A and B are shown apart, each in its own frame.
Chain A
Amino acid sequence: MTDSKSPSFFAENWEIGPIFRALLRNKVGAMLIALQIAFTMTIVVNAIYIIVERSDKMQRPSGIDEANSFYISSVGFSHDFNSLVTTQEDLNLIRSLDGVIDAVQINAVPLSGSGWSMSLQTQPGTEFDGTGTAVYMIDEHGLNSLDVALVAGENFSPTDIQTRQSSQTHWPDKVIITLAMANRLFPDEGLAALGKTVYINDIEPMIITGIVDQLQAPWVGWDNVENVMLTPEIRDAKSSRYFVRTKPGQRDRVMNEVESQLAKSNSGRILRDMRSVEGTRLRAYRDNSAMISILVTVMTILVIVTGLGIVGLASFSVNQRKKQIGTRRALGASQLSIVRYFMLENFLISSAGVVIGAALTIVLNIVLVDAFSLDPIAWYYIPLGMVALWLVGQLAVFGPARKAANIAPALATRSV
C-alpha cells in the first residue's frame, strides 16, 4: 500500500489503460480528430519542408554586392549613334561620379532571369558533351564592379578585351570561370583547372585564366545556377547595359545621378530598366515568396482549425461527462488528476493521428518528389512534426481540461 505517497505522480496510476479502452468504445469522435491531426501533419510537414527548401534557395548568395549595386540600360536610336564610343563615354562618366566604386558594360545580370548561355567541354569535338554555363561579357572592370573575388589566376587586362559584334560567333581565347564550374568540368581538381583548356562551340579553345569563388547565373531556378563563365568582351550593340557598384549607403543617390547624367550626355538614346539588384532579387524570387506566403497561410489555418477541432471535441466531451467528472472528483480525483485525464486522452488520440500522419507525410512526399523533382524529405521532419502536433493537441485541450477540473464534486449527487 502506498497511502502515504502522493497518488498523482505514478505513471501506473495515470489511467492510460482505462482511457484507451474507453476511447475504443467511442471511436468516431476520437477517430475524426485523429484523422484531422493526421491530415494536418501531412500537409504541414510537407509544406514546411517546401518552405525551408525554397527559403534555402532564396538565401543563396549571388556572389555580387547586391546591397550596393544597380544596373541601367541604354538603347541608341539616332542614325548617327555610335555604340562603342557611347559605351566608353558612358562608362567613363559613371566611373567618375562620386560614390561609384566601379562600373562595367555587361550582357546580363545575375538574378535577372534573362541572359546568355553556352556550353563548355574539356575535349574538342562534336562527339563530346558539354557543360552548360551562363556567360557574362565584361571588361577588366568587371570583377571589381560585380565584387567577385578571384581564388586563382588573374583578372583580364585591357589588352584582353575584344569587341563583340552582334552577329559574331567566335569567342575570345581567355575565360574566367566560377569554382563550381571548374569542379564540374574537372571533378575533384578544383583550382587545378586554372590554365587548362576548355572548348566552346565544340572546337574553339579557351584557356582558363582565372577562377572566382562564387557568381550566380541569371536564372535562379536553374539547378546549375553557379555554372558561370566570364569572357573579356565589350559589345558593339545599340543596346547596352551598365552594371554599377557604389559605396555602401549611396546606391539610391547614385542611381538618380547616373540616370540624370547619362540622359544629359547623349540625346540619341533612351535610358530604361534601371533597377537595384536587391529589387531584382525580390522579382526573381517573387513566385517563391508568394508560395511561401500561401503555404504559411494554409498551414496556419489548418493548425488553427485542428486546434479548434480539438477544443470543440474536448469541450463537448467535458459537457457530456460533467456527471462523470463530478463522480471522479467525489471518488478522490484532484483537479490535477482531471486535467491530466483529458490531456492523456488527447495525447492518445494525437498519437494515433501523428502515427497515421507520419505515414501519409511520407506518401505525399513521394508524390511531390515525383511530380516536382524535389529532394526527399529529411527524416527529422517526421518526428519534429509529430512533436509539434502533439503540442498543438496538448495546448488545445488544456483549456477544456481546466474547465473540467473546475467541475464541482458535488455534481455527483445532483440529478443532471
Chain B
Amino acid sequence: MLTMKDIKKIYRTDSIETHALRDFNLHVNEGDFVAVTGPSGSGKTTFLNIAGLLETFEEGRFELDGVDISHQNDAARSRLRNQKIGFVFQSFNLIPDLNLFDNVDVPLRYRGFSRQERKKRIEHNLEMVGLGNRMKHLPAQLSGGQQQRVAIARALAGEPRFLLADEPTGNLDSSMAQSVMALLKDINANGTTIIMVTHDAGLATQANRNIHVSDGKVSEKAMSLSPEAAQFKPSQHKRVVGLSE
C-alpha cells in the first residue's frame, strides 16, 4: 500500500547539510492507522511530507498504492496527491476568505468532478462532521475543533485511500482533541488508511500501529494496542455520522 525503502532526504543550505531521513524504511498496509511519534527535529514531518508527495527525496524507493513515486513529475505528483491522499494539518489550513462549502470544494475542483458531484460530496462530508448546517459560514466563525472537522471533511471529500494528519489535535484542547480523534478512528474504521504524526503519546496509543522516528530513522514500537484502540479494527466498522464536540 505504502512502501518506503532506504529513503534518504537531505536539506542543504550553502554551508549546512541536514540529513532529515536516512535509510528510512516503512511499509503501511491498507486500513492501518499509524501513529508517528518522535522528538522535534527527528524527521516526522519530513516523512509525512514525502509520504504525502509534498517533497521529493534524494535516494531510495517509494511506492504509493502500487505507483513508483521516484520519477513522477510535479504534475503527476499533484494529481496523485489529489486523487489518493487527504491532508489534515495542525493549523487546519482552511482558506479564510472561502466559506465552508467552498473550502471543501477546493480539492474537488482540482479533481475535475462535475458541479452536481461536488455539491453532493461537499454536503455529505460536511454533514458527516456535523457542520451541514453551517456551510455558508467562514472559518473564522468556527471554533478550532469545528475548523479541524471542516479540514477533515475537505480531506475526505475526494474519498482518498490515505489520510495524512500532521498533529491534527495540536491546536485543540483535550476535549476537542478527543472529538477529532474519535472522528479519525471512525474514518479509519471505514477503511481509510491513516498516518498521523503526533507529539501526544496518549493519542498515539489509540492508533493500531505506532512508529517512532528518531534521528531520521524508524523504530517501530511493539504492537501494544490499548483496549480503546483495539476497538477500532477497520473491517468491523461503518462510518459514523455527526460527531459532536
Closest residue of B by beta carbon distance from A12:
B115
Seen from chain B, the residues whose Cβ lies within 8 Å of a Cβ on chain A are 45, 48-49, 52-55, 74-75, 78-79, 81-83, 87, 89-91, 93, 95-99, 102, 105-107, 109-115, 117, 138, 154, 158, 166
Q: Are A408 and B55 in contact, CB atoms less than 8 angstroms apart? A: yes
Q: For the complex, is A18 an interface residue (Cβ under 8 Å from B)?
A: yes
Is A79 interfacial (CB 8 A cutoff)? Answer: no
B91 touches A5 (CB 8 A): no
Binds B, one of A65-73, A188-196, A330-338: A330-338
Instruction: Determine if A412 and B95 form an interchain contact, defined as CB atoms under 8 angstroms apart.
Output: no
Per-residue CB contact flags for chain A residues 1-29 toward chain B (1 = under 8 Å, else 0) read 11101111010111101100110011000
Report the Cα distance A408→B46, complex, angstroms: 13
- Which 7 residue pairs spanning A and B have beta carbons closest together? A332-B82, A7-B112, A22-B97, A331-B107, A332-B110, A410-B54, A327-B93
| A16 CB, min distance to chain B CBs, angstroms | 10
Contact B112 A331 (CB under 8 A): no
How far is A10 from B96 in the complex, measured between Cα atoms in Å? Answer: 25
Are A409 and B81 in contact, with the CB atoms below 8 A?
Answer: yes
Across the interface, do A331 and B98 meet the contact criterion of CB distance under 8 Å? no
Chain B residues, CB < 8 A from A7: 79, 82, 109-112
Complexed CA–CA distance, A336 and B89 (Å): 24
Are A18 and B89 in touch, CB under 8 angstroms? no
Given contacts A330-B54, A415-B91, 12 further A-B contacts (CB under 8 A): A13-B113, A14-B109, A21-B102, A22-B97, A26-B97, A327-B95, A331-B82, A332-B111, A335-B74, A409-B55, A410-B49, A413-B48
In this assembly, does A235 line the interface, its C-beta being within 8 Å of a C-beta of chain B?
Answer: no
In the complex formed, the residue of A with least CB distance to B80 is A332
**Does the CB pair B113–A331 fall under 8 Å?**
no
A269 contacts chain B at the CB level, 8 A cutoff? no
Q: Within the complex, what minimum Cβ distance (angstroms) separates B18 from chain A?
A: 15
Number of interface residues of A (CB under 8 A): 37
In the complex the two chains form, is A334's CB within 8 Å of B89's CB? no
Complex alpha-carbon distance, A412 and B78, angstroms: 14
Q: Shortest beta-carbon distance, B158 to chain A, in Å?
A: 8
Query: A413 and B97: CB pair below 8 A?
Result: no
Would A3 and B81 be within 8 Å (CB), given that A25-B97, A26-B97, A331-B110 are in contact? no
Q: How far is the CA of A332 from the CA of B114 in the complex (A)?
A: 17
Number of cross-chain contacts by CB at 8 Å:
113
A409: nearest chain-B partner, CB-CB: B54
A328 vs B105: C-alpha distance when bound (angstroms): 11
Knowing A1-B113, A413-B54, the reply to whether A323 touches B74 (Cβ < 8 A) is: no
Q: Which of A12, A327, A333, A410 contacts B114 (CB 8 A)?
A: A12
Residues on A with C-beta less than 8 A from B55 are: 408-410
B93 to chain A minimum Cβ distance, whole angstroms, is 4
Contacts of A10 in B (CB 8 A): 112
Shortest CB-to-CB span from A352 to chain B, Å, is: 17
Indicate whether A329 reaches chain B with its CB closer than 8 angstroms. yes
Task: Give a binary string over A374-416; 1 marks a CB under 8 Å from any B CB, 0 the rest.
Answer: 0000000000000000000000000000000000111011010
Query: CA–CA, A14 to B106, complex, Å?
Result: 10
Q: Which A-chain residue is minimally distant from B55 (CB atoms)?
A: A410
Question: What separation, in Å, do the CA atoms of A410 and B20 have in the docked complex?
Answer: 14
Interchain nearest-CB distance for B62 vs A (Å): 15
Decide: B87 and A330 in contact? CB cutoff 8 A.
yes
Chain A, Cβ-Cβ closest to B49: A410
Residues of B within 8 A of A114 (CB): none
Closest CB in chain A relative to B239 CB, distance in Å? 19
B82 and A413 contact, CB distance less than 8 A: no
Q: Nearest Cβ distance between residue B21 and chain A, in whole angstroms?
A: 13
Q: What residues of chain A lie closer than 8 Å to B158, measured between beta carbons?
A: 332
Kindly supply a per-residue 1/0 record for chain A positions 319-361, scoring 1 wherever the CB is within 8 Å of any chain B CB and 0 otherwise: 0000110011111111111000000000000000000000000
**Shortest distance from the beta carbon of B240 to any chain A beta carbon, whole Å:** 25
Complex formed: what's the CA distance from A323 to B115 in Å?
27
Taking CB as reference atom, which chain A residue is nearest B102? A18
Q: A409-B54, A410-B54, A412-B87 are in contact. Are A2 and B114 (CB under 8 A)?
A: yes
Which residue of chain B is the closest to A338 with respect to CB atoms?
Answer: B78
A13 and B78: CB pair below 8 A?
Answer: no
**Min CB gap A349→B, angstroms:** 14
Q: Pick from B87, B93, B109: contact of A15, CB below 8 A.
A: B109
B79 x A334 contact (CB < 8 A): yes
B78 touching A334 by the CB < 8 A rule? yes
B95 x A324 contact (CB < 8 A): yes
Q: How far is the CA of A22 from the CA of B45 in the complex (A)?
A: 31
Which residue of chain A has the shortest Cβ distance to B93 in the bound complex? A327
Let me know if A333 and B78 touch, CB within 8 A.
yes
In the complex, how many angstroms separate the beta carbon of A382 from the nearest chain B beta carbon? 32
Contact among A3, A17, A334 with B83 in the assembled complex (CB-CB below 8 Å): A3
CB-CB under 8 A from A409, the residues of chain B are 53-55, 78, 81
A-B contact pairs, 25 of them (CB 8 A): A1-B113, A5-B112, A7-B109, A13-B113, A22-B98, A25-B138, A323-B93, A324-B93, A324-B96, A327-B89, A329-B78, A330-B52, A330-B93, A331-B110, A332-B78, A332-B83, A332-B158, A334-B79, A337-B110, A409-B55, A410-B49, A410-B54, A412-B93, A413-B45, A413-B166
